[in-house]
């Protein structure tokens, strides 16, 4: 009886040894004897060294848009007659995917903005103009020429459709334009140096690579439809806050 149990134990032990050997052989063949080494981002390294191939932008920007060639659909009044030199304060939010390259980066994403202006003209008529815009924003940014992008110039274009609402106290008008565009020239000014320790903590905790002051000049063109309100402008100065993740 004891001999029989001893034989079973030896058989089981032999099977375990064989299985262990086969498992080790399979592992060796699967990785060809190589060991995988994972490299993690060094958050204290300069931006040019630590940035990955992909990123994200999130921005909030302000544009004072004066549609100098706009003519009221309701009563034919010019923009200057209705609002003088005042501009429609447009605040926009933008989120974009960012592709980093050797010479800079390309970014493309979604943008939405809205604003409203109200004024009383010389004839005691109160005009109100509400503008919303929704579209796609694209830009090239030269942000890889310095170890840290203290100043990163860029060129961008935005393609949008606008919602226009006008009210003169008697009548109202609402319409959506066809596709239009504006182009921008600007610069991103890095703000991380103001509080370096907090900036590095945000990189460790949230993946926030850079915080920028975004300053730019932009010009709006007419839309594709001849019967749309005239959306063309002179160059407009704008600004905002842009964060890179």
- Do 128 and 219 share a structural domain? yes
Q: Is the confidence at residue 106, as pLDDT, over 90?
A: yes
Q: Quick check: 61 pLDDT over 80?
A: yes
CATH number of the domain that residue 107 is part of? 2.40.160.20
| Helical (H) or strand (E) element with 106 | strand 105-120
Residue 33 sits in which domain range? 1-38
More confident residue, 80 or 13: 80
Q: What's the CA gap between 53 and 100, in Å, rounded?
A: 5
Q: Which residues are 190's β-sheet partners?
A: 212
User: How far is the C-alpha of 153 from the C-alpha of 198, rounded, in Å?
Assistant: 25
| pTM of the predicted model as reported, rounded to 2 decimal places | 0.78
Could you tell me the pLDDT band of residue 151, with boundaries at 50, 70 and 90? very high
Binning pLDDT at 50, 70 and 90, where does residue 33 land?
low
Q: Residues 169-217: pLDDT tens digits?
A: 889 999 999 999 999 999 999 999 888 788 888 888 888 999 999 999 9
Residue 130 lies in a domain: yes
What pLDDT was estimated at residue 17?
Answer: 56
| Total number of domains in the chain | 2
Provide the Cα torsion 49, 56, 139, 133; round to 10°: -160
């Amino acid at each position: 009886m004891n001999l029989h149990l001893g034989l079973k134990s030896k058989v089981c032990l032999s099977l375990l040894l064989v299985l262990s050997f086969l498992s080790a052989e399979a592992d060796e063949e699967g990785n060809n004897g190589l060991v995988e080494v994972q490299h993690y981002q060094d958050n204290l390294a300069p931006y040019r060294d630590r940035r990955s191939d992909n990123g994200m932008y999130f921005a909030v920007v302000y544009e004072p848009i004066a549609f100098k060639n706009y003519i009221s659909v309701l009563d034919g009044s010019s923009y200057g007659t209705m609002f003088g030199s005042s501009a429609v304060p447009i605040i926009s939010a933008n989120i974009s995917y960012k592709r980093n390259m050797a010479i800079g980066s390309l970014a493309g994403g979604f943008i939405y903005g809205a604003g409203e202006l109200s004024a009383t003209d010389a004839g005691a008529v109160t005009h109100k103009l509400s503008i919303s815009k929704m579209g796609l924003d694209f830009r090239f940014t030269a942000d890889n020429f310095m170890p840290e992008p203290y100043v990163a110039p860029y060129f961008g274009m935005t393609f949008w459709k606008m919602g226009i609402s006008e009210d003169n106290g008697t009548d109202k008008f609402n319409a959506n334009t066809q596709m239009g565009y504006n182009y921008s020239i600007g610069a991103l000014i890095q703000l991380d140096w103001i509080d370096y320790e907090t900036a590095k903590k945000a990189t460790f905790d949230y993946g926030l690579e850079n915080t920028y002051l975004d300053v730019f000049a932009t010009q709006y063109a007419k839309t594709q439809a001849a019967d749309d309100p005239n959306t063309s402008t002179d160059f407009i100065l704008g600004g905002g806050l842009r964060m890179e993740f």
